[in-house]
Amino acid sequence: MHSVSPENTELVDLVLDYSRRRMLASDTPLDKPETEAELDRLAAGALTEEGIGASSALALFENVLAPACITTDHPQYLSFIPTAPRKAATAFDLVVSASAVYGGSWLEGSGAVYAENQALTWLAHEFGLPATAGGVFVQGGTLGNLSALVAAREHARRRVRESGAAMPARWMIVCSAEAHSSIASAAQVMDVDVVPVEPRDTGSLGSEGVRAALEEHAGSVFAVVATAGSTNFGIVDDVASIAALKGEFDFWLHVDGAYGLAAMLSPLARPLFAGVEHADSVIVDPHKWLFAPFDACALIYRDPEAGRQAHTQHAEYLDTLTQTSDWSPSDYAAHLTRRARGLPLWFSLATYGAGAYREAITAALRLAREIAHEIERRPHLRLVRQPQLSVVVFERDGWLPADYERWSARLLGEQRAFVTPSSHAGRTNTRFAILNPMTTLDQLTGILDTM
């Protein structure tokens, strides 16, 4: 299995040929999920004592398993938050695996860590954070939020211990009632409480609600989470007004920008993010609007030392790593073993330049505004809210939840688009999540025509 043999040479050629065809294809179908029974019928028996060989295994994947997975980088994949990796990023993902790079420590992967840190420093600069900011690429936004909040709580614990005060009975996180579900998940894992604050009528969390929560739970709140681009609506909280409270209250400000913070690269949206520069930590997912492949979340600390103190693991066999001042990515999040998942973003940035990213993000923002205007123009449709970023939410007059479900299933069945129902405040709606630079206005208006 490990030698450079004729069999393995043929195997590598087969895989690279498939990868090349897939990356350069311009007509990859949306595809759709298959039933477990049908996959059992077509794919059972793949794992045997003797093996079925590379050619048969790849054919099984290409013809049976891959078509049962929705193509998330398809221009008409408009649900949840899509992905649209650039060719350079996808190609370099192959290089990362082929190079057997370990990204957990400077000792074992200094070149890869250096490149990842270049990308993190570039992001930190875009977000207005100091030159000393730094962090790590983790699997996704859930792990990024959890790791940041763990660092925030450890920072609060040290502060209380140093002051000689008593620890609160329960630690608390303040966030919008519409914050991402991963905040509640992190709180559950950490065994802390969440204080949900109702946002303004605009959907944005502001200082007035946060102030009331801080006053009510004085001494127990260790972090306030602001959302920079909510998943459901793409709404950016009023980070500047929340950050201004740091002059009166002692809390860690974390900005969850998994989807939306990338929009800071565009001059069209940058003013929405005033105050992010005062954050103690931020996250953004390159596998969303920064055009990298799954799975990558950039976690950046204003003071990386707070992350290192919270997350460094100690064991005798790790002493050779932890007793140095080297930058080891495993010290900055709730993980140890890690692949160098930031390298595809680094390579793509180095290849195309930051300007290409700004143009692509700006194009998505403009397209969202154009299709919102088209929705407003159609009498049977209702725009739920003007888009701040690239999520456009709308309703069809007279439709019940079952109507949206049937429409969504028909779109996917016809391979026209992947647009799922959503809801807000008890009302069913649907939404376009626009990230892919290959998505066009004609494609979106064509979907509206089916309603």
Average pLDDT over residues 35-51: 96
Q: What is the mean pLDDT of residues 350-367?
A: 98
| Residue 321: pLDDT over 80 | no
**pLDDT at residue 52, as a whole number:** 96
Q: Place 356 in a pLDDT band, splitting at 50, 70 and 90.
A: very high
Q: Are residues 123 and 266 in the same domain?
A: yes
d(CA 282, CA 133): 10
Whether residue 224 lies inside any domain: the answer is: yes
Q: In terms of domains, do 59 and 111 share one?
A: no
- Reported as a pLDDT band with limits 50, 70 and 90, residue 206 is very high
Write down which residue in 332, 352, 372 finishes a domain.
Answer: 352
Write out pLDDT tens, residues 262-282. Answer: 999 999 999 999 999 999 999
Domain that holds residue 122: 94-352
Dist. CA 205–CA 239, nearest whole Å: 8
State residue 172's pLDDT score: 98
Phi, psi at 134, each rounded to 5°: -175, 175
Check whether 318 has a pLDDT greater than 90: no
Read off the CATH number of the domain in which 98 is found.
3.40.640.10
Whether residue 425 sits in one domain with residue 321: no
Q: Are 343 and 116 in contact (CB under 8 A)?
A: yes
What pLDDT, on the 0 to 100 scale, is given for residue 34? 97
What's the confidence (pLDDT) of residue 163? 94
- Are 292 and 363 found together in one domain? no
Paired tokens of 353: 């330049």
pLDDT, position 320: 78
Same-domain pairing of 122 and 41: no
Same domain flag for 305 and 358 = no
**What is the pLDDT, as a whole number, of residue 171?**
98
**CA dist., res. 231 & res. 74, Å (int):** 19
> Do 379 and 392 share a structural domain?
yes
What band does 209 get if pLDDT is binned at 50, 70 and 90? very high
Place of tokens 């016809």: 414
Please give the average per-residue pLDDT across 4-31, as a whole number: 96
CATH code of residue 421: 3.90.1150.10
* Mean pLDDT computed over every residue of the chain: 97
pLDDT band of residue 317 (cuts 50, 70, 90) is confident
Q: Write the secondary structure of the chain as one string of H (helix), E (strand) and C (coil).
A: CCCCCHHHHHHHHHHHHHHHHHHHCCCCCCCCCCCHHHHHHHHCCCCCCCCCCHHHHHHHHHHHHHHHCCCCCCCCECCCCCCCCCHHHHHHHHHHHHCCCCCCCHHHHHHHHHHHHHHHHHHHHHCCCCCCCEEEEECCHHHHHHHHHHHHHHHHHHHHHHHCCCCCCCCEEEEECCCCHHHHHHHHHHCCEEEEECCCCCCCCCHHHHHHHHHHCCCCEEEEEEEECCCCCCCECCHHHHHHHHHCCCCEEEEECCCCHHHHHCCCCHHHHCCHHHCCEEEECHHHHCCCCCCCEEEEECCHHHHHHHHCCCCHHHHHHHCCCCCCHHHHCCCCCCCCCCHHHHHHHHHHCHHHHHHHHHHHHHHHHHHHHHHHHCCCEEECCCCCCCEEEEEECCCCHHHHHHHHHHHHHCCCCECCEEEECCEEEEEEECCCCCCCHHHHHHHHHCC
* Per-residue confidence band for 319, with pLDDT thresholds at 50, 70 and 90: confident
The structure's pTM equals 0.96
Q: Are residues 346 and 368 in the same domain?
A: no
Question: CB–CB of 424/384 below 8 Å?
Answer: yes
Establish if 218 belongs to a structural domain.
Answer: yes
- The predicted-structure confidence for 383-429, as pLDDT tens digits, reads as follows 999 999 999 999 999 999 999 999 999 999 999 999 999 999 999 99
pLDDT (tens digit per residue) in 84-104:
999 999 999 999 999 999 999
Judge if 101 and 42 occupy the same domain.
no
What per-residue confidence (pLDDT) applies to 336? 94
Cβ count within 10 A of residue 225: 29
Report the candidate in 287, 285, 263 with the shortest Cα–Cα distance to residue 93.
287
In a domain, 245, yes or no: yes
Work out the percent of the chain whose per-residue pLDDT is above 90: 97
Question: What are the residues facing 253 on neighbouring strands?
Answer: 224
Structural domain includes residue 233: yes
Same-domain status, 306 and 185:
yes
Is residue 86 assigned to a domain? no
